């Protein structure tokens, strides 16, 4: 048993030089919303609503732009979140933009 204060386990583990680590190929293509399988599930109206969210519009402004009620926008948002497997506006926008 090590004495108290003798350092952490990490400080006693030898590290391998970086050159000996296996080379892992970096992905050359980052999937975008249009290429992601989740995007295929969105309806054209949901994509339209999501595009307004990307532009930073509030739900009330989206409703005015599309000529629909706030509750309809909210219903579309719920569908978008469910289909993209997210729980927030920022995550939905990030996933749509391929981040």
Mean pLDDT, rounded, for 74-95: 94
Note the pLDDT tens digit of each residue in 63-78: 999 999 999 999 999 9
- At 91 the pLDDT is 94
- From residue 27, alpha-carbon distances to 24, 44, 69 in Å are 9, 29, 42
Note the pLDDT tens digit of each residue in 35-57: 555 455 899 999 999 999 999 99
Task: Give residue for tokens 């609503």.
Answer: 49
């Amino acid at each position: 048993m090590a004495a108290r204060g003798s350092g952490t386990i990490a400080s006693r583990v030898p590290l391998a030089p970086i050159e000996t680590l296996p080379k892992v190929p970096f992905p050359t293509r980052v999937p975008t919303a249009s290429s992601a399988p989740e995007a295929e599930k969105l309806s054209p109206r949901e994509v339209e609503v999501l595009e307004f969210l990307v532009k930073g519009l509030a739900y009330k402004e989206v409703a005015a732009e599309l000529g629909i009620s706030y509750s309809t926008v909210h219903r579309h948002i719920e569908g978008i979140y469910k289909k993209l497997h997210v729980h927030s506006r920022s995550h939905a926008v990030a996933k749509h933009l391929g981040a």
